[in-house]
Amino acid sequence: MVLMQHNTMIRQIAVNGERMRADFEALAAVGGDGSGGVTRLALTPDDIHARAWYADRAEEAGLRVHDDDAANLSAILDAADPNARTLVIGSHLDTVPDGGRFDGAVGVLAALECLRTIHESGIELPVKLEAMNFTDDEGHYASLFGARAFVGVLTSEDIFDTRRDNAQLRAALRSVGSDAQRVLGTRRDPESLAGYLELHIEHGTRLEKSHRPIGIVTGIVGRKTHKITFLGQAGHSGTTDMYKRRDALRGAALFIVRAHESMRARYGDGIFSCGDVDVKPGKFNIIPSEACCTVEFRHVQEDLMVEMEREALQIARECAAANALDIRHELITHMPAASMSAGFVSAIESVCEDFGIPSMPLISYAGHAGQFTAQITPTGMIFIPSVDGIGHSPREFTEWEDIERGANVLLQTILRWALGA
Amino acid sequence: MVLMQHNTMIRQIAVNGERMRADFEALAAVGGDGSGGVTRLALTPDDIHARAWYADRAEEAGLRVHDDDAANLSAILDAADPNARTLVIGSHLDTVPDGGRFDGAVGVLAALECLRTIHESGIELPVKLEAMNFTDDEGHYASLFGARAFVGVLTSEDIFDTRRDNAQLRAALRSVGSDAQRVLGTRRDPESLAGYLELHIEHGTRLEKSHRPIGIVTGIVGRKTHKITFLGQAGHSGTTDMYKRRDALRGAALFIVRAHESMRARYGDGIFSCGDVDVKPGKFNIIPSEACCTVEFRHVQEDLMVEMEREALQIARECAAANALDIRHELITHMPAASMSAGFVSAIESVCEDFGIPSMPLISYAGHAGQFTAQITPTGMIFIPSVDGIGHSPREFTEWEDIERGANVLLQTILRWALGA
């Protein structure tokens, strides 16, 4: 009976939509172009402005503000027990260049609003709640930098490798009072964590098309990027013997055609893409001596992603051999595939069922902090629709009612998770 | 008997190799880097220096110096009859950036030496001889500019099109006293011409490999260049539906593969090359929206070159359709294919036979002024070996004895042609 009353009370808690909307408008103005576009590159003045604004909102609400050595910035609602574990709810304040108002911002503001709402409700939870802004999610310096620091997978190379000009990243960290020397020690103790939860726009049209306002993320695709360079020999395109040509672009083109065909045929759930070919010397009348392909592999299963990568590299070697070329390849990025916690999936599902909100399970084809947090703590993600699936664009748009509904699903999931923890 | 004595006398005339070599060394120093490389871009100070030096040599030799409105610069040996037709012998003083000492220079210096030798011999010819330096053969501003002006195929667009920034060409012409406004009127009257003859290095290894020091050019390949752009739609490489992608690079790659295969299979004597692909936006995680292929077609038969072009464009359209892409193409250059005059071919052949010099017929796979002069006057070309076929490089090299032998074949051909004219 007591439990039922408690549950009824819990069900009745809801975010303050007006307050959250005022926050949304205020944040959209920071780095905003006045017509929907926002540019808040990580650790640039506009992002620093947004961070200060966020810290002010958190302090106003009586939350504790904390930042770690990777400049991840949190608003914390402490628990009665100082040794309680922490449920982190996060996203990012930074944007891509010429991005939109929703990507990242919605997740941070909803997290903040959930903490304020719970704080105001007077409910005592057995876990701490931490509304976190992860540093440089969008990769102005290094994609998912803050999330990687959080789980402890950054390497010394990520911060101190001089070939990548990381001096700018170090200077940017210093500008917000963080110390690059200590970033590698940022790693959170998994034992101290109760989970990680994030609300984000879908970056796709699956929710919109199926008229379901909530997506329950079951997995985040992994991503590996390579530069695969075909190496031939330059020569006058008119006078070089046709049978002695070592045309690097011809090999690269064959690779692009064959790799697309093979990947599509064999890995229906995987994605292969070649986004660029850089040809040298790149003249009308000179046989290309170098063609460097920028390729990526995505798959929600890490083992299949590695298989795709291995097979594509084999195709590249065959295409090189067929054109008397040499080959060189370099792994540029590895973002691991991640499964979302079954516990979070069912918690979100049951919230949606209880509130009669149509939902559907989804795989995330874009990268998110959760693909790293899943390595050390149960992780869940809630997607809300983005109109026409547009993301990373000033035309990015989500209806306000979808945002408020998403924030309430987030709030109810936090409460269930925290009370069940 | 008189004829036989005359023929014997003609046979005994030979160029002054030492004088020509001194000229060669002096010219190689103009724009030379001291270790074999030469940069004398058309109408730049080094080229203007070379032109002045050339005019001085001509005047010293008692020849008349003339330049036309396209800045083509000639040394003229007049005939007794002021209405006599003119046999033009030419090449070019300009080089590509970081080019060699031989390409172009050898032809101009041999032409000058032939005129000096004939002038000194006292032989009266029934034609005027004109040793010509064609302006901008190598295309610092516009490939074969002087040759195109000479035959009257330059268009107003070549000189006044503001999109191409031709203002620099006009300013350069003005710097050598030529008037861009009058270039289009430069065209020589075909009736006034007795032919065009050029000595040049081979830019290939056919002579070297077959141990024949003289190549008799039978035709010059034509060349058409296009920019073929595949137009798709950008999108997030991770989240865009696999079956709705309009990947411009995928279409371009298929085109490169298929066009190479088809052209090789169907046009054994033709050349297809794709020297560059410019991809937009060219990022790892964005589906390419544009891929612009830089392609060229070469064939010694103009009609087959046009057929190659038509077929490749058809392949491009098919590859675009197969990937839901649009296509745009732009003709950038058209250098016509040309046959050398049968009269010159047999004249050069008979000179080689008479002097016991091994020779072979050759097609020129590189472009030369002769492919334009052939449109208005009988045209012949003599090739001499270039070691390892290297051209447009500081490592370009031809043995001096090959140059002197070539100059003497040129001299004897001029004399036979002139006396037979």
pLDDT in tens, B333-385: 899 999 999 999 999 999 999 999 999 999 998 899 999 999 999 999 999 99
> Do A253 and B254 lie within an 8 Å CB cutoff?
yes
∠ Cα B392 B395 B396 (to 5°)? 55
Using a CB-CB distance cutoff of 8 angstroms, which residues of chain A are in contact with residue B288?
A: 274-276
The overall average pLDDT reported for chain A is: 94
Q: What is the pLDDT of residue B1?
A: 42
Using a CB-CB distance cutoff of 8 angstroms, which residues of chain B are in contact with residue A279?
A: 275-277
Q: What is the ipTM of this complex?
A: 0.79
In chain A, list all ranges with CATH 3.40.630.10: 2-219+339-420
In chain B, list all ranges with CATH 3.30.70.360: 222-335
For residue B140, is pLDDT > 80?
A: yes
> Do B253 and A250 lie within an 8 Å CB cutoff?
no
Listed in sequence order, the residues at least 6 apart from A161 whose beta carbon sits closer than 8 Å to its beta carbon are none
Residues 222-251 of B with CB under 8 A from A: 223, 225, 236-239, 241-242, 247, 249-250
Q: What is the pLDDT of residue A4?
A: 59
The enclosing H or E element of B220 equals strand B214-220
Residues 100-139 of A with CB under 8 A from B: none
> Do B389 and A239 lie within an 8 Å CB cutoff?
yes
* Percent of all residues in chain B with a pLDDT value above 70, rounded to a whole number: 98
Using a CB-CB distance cutoff of 8 angstroms, which residues of chain B are in contact with residue A284?
A: 225, 275-276, 294-296, 332-333
Neighbour tally for A328: CB within 10 Å: 12
Mutating which of A230, A237, A286, A293 best tests the B interface, going by the most B Cβ atoms within 10 A?
A: A237
pLDDT in tens, B63-104: 999 999 999 999 999 999 999 999 999 999 999 988 999 999
> Do A276 and B283 lie within an 8 Å CB cutoff?
yes
Read off the pLDDT band of B244 (50, 70, 90): confident
Q: What is the pLDDT of residue B18?
A: 98
Neighbour tally for B317: CB within 10 Å: 16
Quick one: how far is CA A192 from the chain centroid? 23
Read off the pLDDT band of A408 (50, 70, 90): very high
Phi-psi region of A122 (alpha: psi -120 to 50; beta: other; left: phi over 0): left
The closest of B133, B113, B125 to B84, measured between CA atoms, is B125
SS3 A109: helix
Read off the pLDDT band of A239 (50, 70, 90): confident
pLDDT in tens, B300-346: 999 999 999 999 999 999 999 999 999 999 999 899 999 999 999 99
In this prediction, residues B110-139 reach a mean pLDDT of: 96
Which residues partner with A331 through β-bridges? A226
Q: Which of the listed CATH numbers 3.30.70.360, 3.40.190.290, 3.40.50.720, 3.10.20.30 matches domain B222-335?
A: 3.30.70.360
User: In this structure, what DSSP letter does residue A132 have?
Assistant: E
Q: CA-CA distance, B56 to B23, in Å (whole number)? A: 11
Of A257, A271, A277, the CB nearest to B242: A271
The closest of B93, B65, B76, B70 to B177, measured between CA atoms, is B70
Q: What is the pLDDT of residue B231?
A: 98
Q: What is the pLDDT of residue B421?
A: 59
Mutating which of A98, A206, A242, A390 best tests the B interface, going by the most B Cβ atoms within 10 A?
A: A242
> Do A239 and B203 lie within an 8 Å CB cutoff?
yes
Neighbour tally for B101: CB within 10 Å: 22
pLDDT in tens, A67-86: 999 999 999 999 999 999 99
> Do B237 and A273 lie within an 8 Å CB cutoff?
yes
Of the listed ranges A293-302, B35-44, B124-133, B178-187, the one predicted with least confidence: B178-187
∠ Cα A207 A209 A211 (to 5°)? 65
The fold of the B2-221+337-420 domain, in CATH, is: Aminopeptidase (3.40.630)
In this prediction, residues A408-418 reach a mean pLDDT of: 97
> Do A279 and B276 lie within an 8 Å CB cutoff?
yes
A2-219+339-420 classified as CATH 3.40.630.10: yes
Mutating which of A203, A285, A287, A308 best tests the B interface, going by the most B Cβ atoms within 10 A?
A: A285
Quick one: how far is CA A296 from the chain centroid? 16
- Backbone phi, psi, residue A73, to 5°: -115, 125
Of A256, A294, A389, the CB nearest to B250: A256
Any alpha helices (H) in A137-225, and if so which ranges? 145-151, 156-160, 167-175, 180-183, 206-210
Cβ-count burial of A121 within 10 angstroms (0-12 exposed, 13-18 middle, 19+ buried)?
A: middle
Read off the pLDDT band of A1 (50, 70, 90): very low
Nearest CA in chain B to A280: B276
For residue A111, is pLDDT > 50?
A: yes
The overall average pLDDT reported for chain B is: 94
Asked if the C-beta of A324 comes within 8 angstroms of chain B's C-beta atoms, the answer is no
- CB distance B71 to B43 below 8 Å: yes
Q: CA-CA distance, B323 to B316, in Å (whole number)? A: 11
Q: What is the pLDDT of residue A322?
A: 97
Read off the pLDDT band of A166 (50, 70, 90): confident
> Do B275 and A249 lie within an 8 Å CB cutoff?
yes
